[in-house]
Structures are given as structure tokens and as C-alpha cells.
Amino acid sequence: MMLLYFEDEQMSAQRIALAGDLQLACIERHRFPDGEIKLRLPFDALGKNAVILRTLNNPNEKLIELLLAAQTARALGAAHLTLVAPYLSYMRQDIAFAPGEAISQRIIGRFLADLFDTVITVDPHLHRVATLQEAIPIAAENAIVLSGAPLLADLIATHRTNPLLVGPDEESAQWIALAASRHGFDYAVCRKVRNGDRAVQVALPEAAVAGRQVVLLDDIASTGHTVAQAARLLLAAGAVSVDVAVTHALFAGDALQVMKDAGVGEVWSTDCIAHPSNAISMAATIALAIGQHRTQAGY
């Protein structure tokens, strides 16, 4: 099976290909002076089944790339197309909070469902929908969700003794419980009220944090303000240390510095989004999912 990638994700593609014994081919990309892009796929080696790797941080131009790449692959004879999007964008807006708002999750989900037969992603940021299939309307067996929680828990276990895992909000409860169960860690969840992109209020859980090594664990960190506020409260409550572990290191702007200024020690992330904090590779997990799905689906 051919794994197609864009040049800026070459290292990630190589790790996945090595783990899954996949063939690799780069999608050539050219930008015209007016900003339009041109793609060229490896037409001589595409085959009937192909996987396109594109993690969707900074998503707007990447979504146009996927439109061009997927439709070109179909025209070249690809019968089954799989999208591997380790980070999946536009998932947070799942309802209209005010009249006239676009429900981005529904729109982008349909867009991807029209292009791809299978979508593989890691810890999608879902709120009021329970499954990836509700966001991307394809067959349930083709909407594949992986998680970075177990591997992050393994990393924490090697660096901290009897840590307390803390989720920054109620939405992280199920996810953080999964990570905690891996090694029998204690865990708790904060309450969060968001008043804007950078205006949040955090209330600590009732769990005793004094004297504990605390790790704030979440699927995603963007501005860093929620994590920073939680870290200050935890340290003020007597936590010995506060570290951060996330699947998706979006870390917009000065997010990393915001967290450090709040007293956060280590920051660990998976390589779903390339960042200096990457400490865990999801390549083997993704490669295994590609292989298992191909076997089960028989393509």
C-alpha cells in the first residue's frame, strides 16, 4: 500500500511507513505567485489503494490540498482512499451557539466523507457527539479513533512516582480515566468556565493535591491559558510539581511560555503535531491501525 505525504510531514511519514512496511511517495507541491497551489501525485505508483497523511493543524490550506489530492487520486484509479489525520481540525464547533453560526464540524466532516472511504485520527476533540462517525458520516468501521492516552501514561510512569493525573475540564473525564487506568494512577478533573478564547475560569477538584506530583493531562492544548491557570492553583494548593502531557501540541503563539511562567515543569506531547515538546511517537499505533483495517476490509 502506498502512503502519500507532503514534504513538510516527511519525518512523520517515514516513521509510519517504517512501522507498517508501507511504500512512500511524496505529493509534489508548487505555489504560484498569486497563492494558488498545484499538486502532482505519483501516478505511476499509486495503485488501487492509497493512504494520504495530512495532520490538520493550520488547516485551511491543507483542506484545499486534500480536495485536490483525493480527487486526483480517484482520477488516477485509486479505489480505496484512507486519510490519516493524526490531528483533526474543526471538531470543536459542533452546534450553533448563536444564530447564523456555521456548524464547522458538520460541514468539514461531510467534506472529508465525500473525499475518503476511511479516516484514521487520534483523540479527536469531540464534545456533544459520541463517535467520530457522527462528525464524519462514513461507515462506522471506517471511522477509526486512536488514542495517545495509553502511551502518555506509560511516559508519565517512567518519569513520576505515584503521580496524580488531573484533567483541566469535565470534557476530559473519560479520556483521563483511560490514561489513569493504565497504571492505576489517581486522577481528578477540574471544572472550567470559558468566557472567550483566552478567558477561562478553573476550579480545582476536591482531591487532595498537597505533596503530590501532578500531571495535567489533556487531548489538546492551544493557548495554554487553561493549563496555566490550573497549574497556578495546583501549586498554590501544595502540589510538589505540575507537568503537562497532551496528545495535540497546538500551542498557539506564546502558549508554551504562558505555561512555563505559571510554574509548569515538563511539557510532553505526542508527534501528532510536530513540536519541540514531542516525547511520544504515534507511528506504530497508526501503522497498526492501517494494517488491521486493510485486513478486515479486504482491500
What was the pLDDT predicted at 199? 61
Residue pLDDT, tens place only, 146-161: 999 999 999 999 999 9
pLDDT at 62 over 80: yes
What was the pLDDT predicted at 206? 76
Nearest Cα to Cα of residue 281 among 7, 12, 5, 2? 12
Q: Which regions of the chain does DSSP assign to beta strands (E)?
A: 2-6, 23-31, 37-40, 49-53, 80-85, 118-122, 143-146, 164-167, 186-189, 191-194, 200-203, 213-221, 241-249, 267-270, 278-280
Residue pLDDT, tens place only, 178-210: 899 999 999 999 887 666 555 667 788 777 899
What was the pLDDT predicted at 221? 87
CA distance 152 to 123: 12
CA distance 224 to 8: 25
pLDDT at 42 over 70: yes
What was the pLDDT predicted at 48? 84
CB neighbours (10 Å) of residue 240? 16
Exposure b/e, 256-266, CB count within 10 A at least 16 = b: bebbbebebbb
CATH class of the domain comprising 149-280: alpha beta
What was the pLDDT predicted at 169? 79
Contact 167, 218 (CB under 8 A): yes
Task: Using pLDDT thresholds of 50, 70 and 90, give the confidence band for residue 217.
Answer: very high
Mean pLDDT of all residues belonging to the chain? 92
Contact 250, 218 (CB under 8 A): no
Contact 249, 275 (CB under 8 A): yes
Within 8 A by CB and 6+ apart from 41, the residues are 4, 25, 27, 28, 69, 72, 73, 76
| Interstrand relation of 200-203 and 37-40 (parallel, antiparallel or unpaired) | unpaired
Task: Using pLDDT thresholds of 50, 70 and 90, give the confidence band for residue 170.
Answer: confident
Q: What percent of the chain has pLDDT over 90?
A: 74
Question: Is residue 95 exposed (0-12), middle (13-18) or buried (19+ Cβ within 10 Å)?
Answer: exposed
Task: Using pLDDT thresholds of 50, 70 and 90, give the confidence band for residue 224.
Answer: confident
Task: Using pLDDT thresholds of 50, 70 and 90, give the confidence band for residue 92.
Answer: confident
Question: What mean pLDDT comes out for the span 74-97?
Answer: 93
Residues of the chain with CATH 3.40.50.2020: 2-147+282-297, 149-280
Residue pLDDT, tens place only, 111-134: 999 999 999 999 998 888 889 999
Residue pLDDT, tens place only, 250-290: 998 889 999 999 999 999 999 999 999 999 999 999 999 99
Query: Would you state the cell numbers that stand for residue 118, as one nine-digit string?
Result: 476511511
CA distance 25 to 5: 7
What angle do helix axes 149-159 and 173-183 make, rounded to 10 degrees?
50
What was the pLDDT predicted at 237? 93
What was the pLDDT predicted at 286? 98
Q: Answer yes or no: CATH 3.40.50.2020 is held by domain 2-147+282-297.
A: yes
Q: What percent of the chain has pLDDT over 70?
A: 97
CA distance 116 to 73: 10
The residue with cell 473525499 is: 115
What count of Cα atoms within 13 Å lies in the side-chain half-sphere of residue 117? 16
What was the pLDDT predicted at 197? 54
What was the pLDDT predicted at 44? 76
